[in-house]
A and B are shown apart, each in its own frame.
Chain A
Amino acid sequence: MKDMVVIDGLVKRFGRKEVLHGLDLEVAAGEVVCLIGPSGSGKSTLLRCVNQLERPDGGTVRVAGEFVGMAQGRRGQLIPGRESDLCRQRTDIGMVFQSFNLFPHMTALHNVMLAPRRVRRQSEAQVVDMAQRLLAKVGLADFGDAYPVQLSGGQQQRVAIARALAMQPKVMLFDEPTSALDPELVGEVLDVIRSLAGDGMTMVVATHELAFAREVADRVVFMDGGVIVEQGPPSDVLVRPREGRTREFLSRFLGVPTGALGEPASA
């Protein structure tokens, strides 16, 4: 399968603290990769480097074959790219944030339509049907006129997913999409992500929902301390981890010995 995302030797420092130590990761087209690991392990930073919300201090990120935020100089060497190129590349990379970040001064429908209208310069009439369809897809067909403040956390996050889908991205990044939600609202958001996986969307999901990862992920990547410790099919990494750090994380996280996830979650 063709690689959609290729991360090569990614290094990121905040001040003197290095949080990603030369990380490599490939994500194939249509693949669902779940990033798990303790807080501060670099999951978020990794995702934010993919669309250059954080500028990497070393290494490269390619999405759909193109270096993100970089251009090739005359002799083939990599040089910082132009802002307009980065904007175009970012339209291929949808991102969903932990804290939703909906635009509070717009209705749900206008949140979804904003980028197609302003970035693609399409008219409202051209995009309103598509936006309605996306809201229906996330189960909020009747909420187009609601402002974010009128929606529950789960509803806001689903609007945020529809907003990211509006640019028809080639890959979707989810940065702990359910961590800010009340427990009873987590399911509705995971259902939407699950249905996207069913549609064949390429996705990288940083999550603490291990049962969800077990069920939906093609591959689970366990990160700790800015490196990938272990990766593989969920049935291996979550059920029979090879590495001690993975075992320790899983038992601490689940509060039970490893193996509890042996049975797929019935959702």
Chain B
Amino acid sequence: MVGRSMELRSETPASGASSNAGVVPGRLARFVRSQSPLHWLLSLIVLVVAIELIRSVSTNENFEWGVVGDYLFSHSILMGLLRTLELTVIAEFVGYVLGALLAIMRLSGAPLAVAASWFYVWFFRGTPLLVQLIFWYNLGALYRHISLNIPFGPALFSADANSVITPFTAAILGLGLNSAAYMAEIFRSGIQSIHHGQSEAALALGMSRKQMLRHVIMPQAMRVIIPPASNELIGMLKYSALVSVLAYQDLLYSAQIIYNRTYQTIPLLIVVSIWYIVVTTVLTIGQSYVERHFSRGIRQSRQRRSVSRGAGTSTDRPAAPATAAPIT
């Protein structure tokens, strides 16, 4: 399992581009404009490497592009893709809801809630996701029966653990509960990034804590929360490939079933990669739309001048007491 921090770094394209050249972006920009010999040399290297790469990929027969084409839209691959999407959406939903709850507990100030939230994050961030997945899958070894009771009352729900814990439920539990720990920290940092003057202004107007959170804090915190939360969702899409160890037929496992039979390992992994990249691209586009929605009032400073100009100067003056409307 790849560490989360490494994953984050590899998903930031901008940092990769500038570190390649070994100069800070600002200097690089100036240097490109000056078009020195080094600029031409760098461009030449990039061009040569790119041509060489394309040539090798297209001419190496071991890639078996024909096989890739055969399986790209095959029924079992598409079914696997569907299951991967289903798993990603449900597990991330669990992660978002539980994460938000954990963040609110952590910020509530109630000692037991704070401790419980802290403990949860500590535990689920402290153990590998792969271990958690296998652990949930083997829950039946720990508890034979799973039941939901009213405290000291009758059971609402009771079942044999082995029938409840299918590869699917183990995958949802493993992925969702793990993601909740990360989401809790993302929500918490987002909420804490909002200046306390905002909550004071809301409270002074007579808003309850719930109204303040919903109408004042969260809409602003979302701007901070969305980029890492999107990262988490895109990460979830790919971490879900881990459930192939539980023999759940997601995208990767569907491909594995095929290449275990046909030994066309590389082309089928390419098929899988293509689908992951397609879905990631769609999610990234969606992210930019959501980000735009939540940056209302933040990115509009450029319009400032036009608004000031649009209104006459005579209106930009307090009404004289004589003509002022009475306070109602």
Contacts and interface: CB of A to CB of B under 8 A. Distances in A.
Interface string A149-175: 111000100101001110110000000
B325 A136 contact: yes
Nearest to B222: A105
A171 to B, nearest CB: 12
Interface string A123-152: 000000010011011111111011111110
B12 interface: no
B318 A90 contact: no
Interface residues of A, number: 60
Contact of A150 (B206, B208, B303, B317): B303
B328 A130 contact: yes
B220 interface: yes
Contact of B219 (A105, A118, A141): A105
Contact of B206 (A91, A133, A137): A91
B107 interface: no
A94 B327 CA distance: 13
Interface string B174-211: 00000000000000000000010110111111111101
B282 interface: no
A139 B316 contact: yes
Interface string B272-303: 00000000000000000000001011101101
A138 B200 contact: no
A88 interface: yes
B200 A53 contact: yes
Contacts of A83: 208-209
A140 B202 CA distance: 22
Contacts of A199: 321, 324, 326-327
B297 A104 contact: yes
A163 to B, nearest CB: 7
Contact of B208 (A87, A107, A141): A87
Contacts of B301: 149-150
Given A139-B315, A148-B297, A150-B301, A118 B215 contact: yes
B14 interface: no
Contacts, number: 137
Contact of B319 (A88, A118, A130, A139): A139
A53 B203 contact: yes
A196 interface: yes
B312 interface: yes
A133 to B, nearest CB: 5
Interface residues of B toward A: which range?
35 or more
A139 B312 CA distance: 11
Contact of B298 (A105, A119, A164): A105
Contacts of A151: 304
Given A140-B316, A143-B311, A195 B324 contact: yes
A contact patch SS: helix
Nearest to A90: B206
A97 B211 contact: no
Nearest to A192: B318
A107 to B, nearest CB: 8
A244 interface: no
A188 B220 CA distance: 29
Contact of B220 (A104, A137, A146, A147): A104
Contacts of B266: none
B298 to A, nearest CB: 6
Contact of A141 (B206, B304, B315): B315
Residue of A115, A163, A198 with most partner-chain B CB within 10 A: A115
A32 interface: no
Interface string A176-201: 00000000000010011011101101
28 contacts: A88-B206, A90-B203, A90-B204, A97-B197, A99-B197, A101-B195, A103-B198, A104-B220, A105-B297, A105-B298, A115-B205, A130-B328, A136-B325, A140-B315, A140-B316, A146-B307, A150-B300, A150-B303, A158-B318, A164-B204, A167-B205, A191-B318, A194-B321, A195-B319, A196-B327, A199-B321, A199-B324, A199-B326
Given A195-B321, A201-B327, 10 more contacts: A53-B203, A102-B201, A119-B205, A119-B207, A136-B319, A136-B325, A139-B315, A139-B318, A168-B328, A199-B327
Interface of A: 51, 53, 83-84, 87-91, 93-95, 97, 99, 101-107, 114-115, 118-119, 130, 133-134, 136-143, 145-151, 155, 158, 160, 163-165, 167-168, 188, 191-192, 194-196, 198-199, 201
Interface of B: 195, 197-198, 200-209, 211, 215-216, 219-220, 294, 296-298, 300-301, 303-304, 307-308, 310-312, 315-321, 324-328
